[in-house]
A and B are shown apart, each in its own frame.
Chain A
Amino acid sequence: MPKPPGKSKLTTRAINLYYGNYHALGDITVEIPECAVTAVIGPSGCGKSSFLRLFNRMNDLIPTARVEGEAFIDGAPVYGKDSDAVSLRKRVGMVFQKPNVFPMSIYENIVIGPRHHGVKNRGELDAVVERCLAQVALWDELKDVGIRNKSGLELSSGQRQRLCIARALAVDPEVILMDESCSALDPESTMKIEELMADLACRYTIIIVTHNMEQALRVSDMSAFFMIDGDKVGRLVEYAPTIDMFYAPKDKRTEDYITGRFG
């Protein structure tokens, strides 16, 4: 299953994140490989989600958030004068912890992104909907229920989360960030989404935040272990191919966390 990490898609160089006076992430330097799944693990409150949100600048929404250091996508800076959060987010999609389906039809949920990015042709939009629903294995489940009339909110939570993934795919991103996207789901839905991640990893760069060590081990190629150190700052403790990290952790803290977690 593990493949050799290819070219890096996303990189950070000594990046720091502050919320007001609170130093959330300290000096993170990391290279995320293209077309692979990278898992971000670590105890609660260590800044995993904040780290994920660095890449699509979701932290910008918090007025007190401040970023120091550099992040790059394909070598181009993510922060700074020349970069634009809106066009960045077209390239870096995100799936949230809770399925945040919009209160509109299944069809509208998917086309809303492409439509705002200039796709107006009805046939093209229909094609996008079919492709994206098929990618998340919802097309066969839903094609007969009237996706134009049925509200996305009427789906089961597992279906809703897959709809959210389809919605993210509809804007043709290059990177997909998944913030504990399975934590609110039942095991069967989780399994489906994990299979999906494996499929998607052929084409997309995926970063997931997860509390579930088995999941990290099952789906990811690389793992990043975060922890809060003595000065209350979230830091990257270890970053390695998942197999190496789980079976031969270099850092004592990683080993304690993983073994503690596996029980």
Chain B
Amino acid sequence: MRKFKEKLSERIFFALALSSISVLALITLFIFIKGVPLIAEVGAFKFIFGMSWAPGRGEFGIFPMIIGSVSVTLGAAVLGIPVGICCSIFMAEFAPVWMRNIFRPAIQLLAGIPSVVYGFWGLLFVVPAIRNYLGGPGLSILAGSVILAIMILPTIISISEVSLLALPRHYKEGALALGMTHWQTIRSVQLPAAKSGIVAAVILGIGRAIGETMAVIMVLGNSVAVPQSVLDPVRTLTTNIGIEMGYASGGHQQALFATGIVLFVIIMALNVSAQYITRRKIK
């Protein structure tokens, strides 16, 4: 009887675990079934590199949105990565314990703020600030980059910090014993040794930035055009789906699913490379 119970509970856990994975499989299958026919119809090259997005006329070119996603993400990376890595170095190497005990939960809290709140804050503070001090409509790549840079900080900081803290103590001791200063030790020994973890942190942060929708919808301006400067509004792949999904039907809807496929592939590629890089470190 007891054995039967053991077996039964094992099965139940297995079924529950399986269901969460099968949801992933179902979603994947679903967006591919919905999106692939349109890509096949329009042609993959024309879909990805087409400059014109006019669903009413049956023109489905997502290149302006790809430019939008890439530029906003790059901006977020440029702003967020240096700050995030420096912050993780500070936390892992310089901060006294009491300060670390305040910083760490604070950064976790940053990750817990709903993205719509970031967007709202960006719309009320960042957008007017850009409009007043730098010109343009304010709704812009820069506004989106600033918001995303803040949103990816927790990912970058916590993963980089963990990889710095996971280094064997004897690297640091060895470097200091050579008469290197603390900063020289960090720069020349610890950072290179933690490189794979930090690179993984950056990739995961970028993945987060590309996938973010709600916050950027509110600050990007969302016009479908290739931007000329960082002060121009853009539309990203995610915001394109978010904005048009409500009223799309037929080929238009399929095109949005196809946009989803492109996003899916990009994010999968980023996650797989992040995992590959961290694995290699263990070896």
Give residues in A with beta carbon < 8 Å to B.
56, 58, 61, 86-91, 93-94, 96, 98, 100, 102-104, 112-113, 116-117, 164, 167-168, 171
Contacts and interface: CB of A to CB of B under 8 A. Distances in A.
Interface of B: 168, 170-181, 184, 188-189, 192-193
A86 B170 CA distance: 17
Nearest to B174: A100
8 contacts: A98-B170, A100-B173, A102-B174, A102-B175, A103-B192, A112-B175, A113-B179, A168-B178
A89 B177 contact: yes
B193 A103 contact: yes
Contacts of A113: 178-180
A104 B170 CA distance: 15
Given A86-B181, A100-B168, A102-B193, A116 B188 contact: yes
B188 A112 contact: yes
Given A102-B189, A103-B192, A86 B174 contact: no
B176 A89 contact: yes
Contact of A96 (B170, B181, B192, B193): B170
B179 A171 contact: yes
A97 to B, nearest CB: 9
Most A CB within 10 A of own CB, among B172, B176, B179, B192: B179
Most B CB within 10 A of own CB, among A56, A90, A100: A100
Nearest to A91: B179
- Majority SS of interface residues in chain A? helix
Contacts of B181: 86, 116
A100 B192 CA distance: 15
A61 B173 contact: yes
Given A102-B193, A104-B192, A116-B184, A89 B171 contact: no
Contacts of B193: 102-103
Contacts of A58: 173, 176-177
A152 B229 CA distance: 47
Contacts of A164: 174
Contacts of B178: 89-90, 93, 112-113, 116, 167-168, 171
Most B CB within 10 A of own CB, among A56, A102, A104, A171: A102
B123 to A, nearest CB: 46
B180 A100 contact: no
B174 to A, nearest CB: 4
Nearest to B181: A86
B173 A89 contact: no
Contacts of A89: 176-179
Contacts of A90: 178-179
Contacts of A171: 178-179
Contacts of A102: 171, 174-175, 189, 193
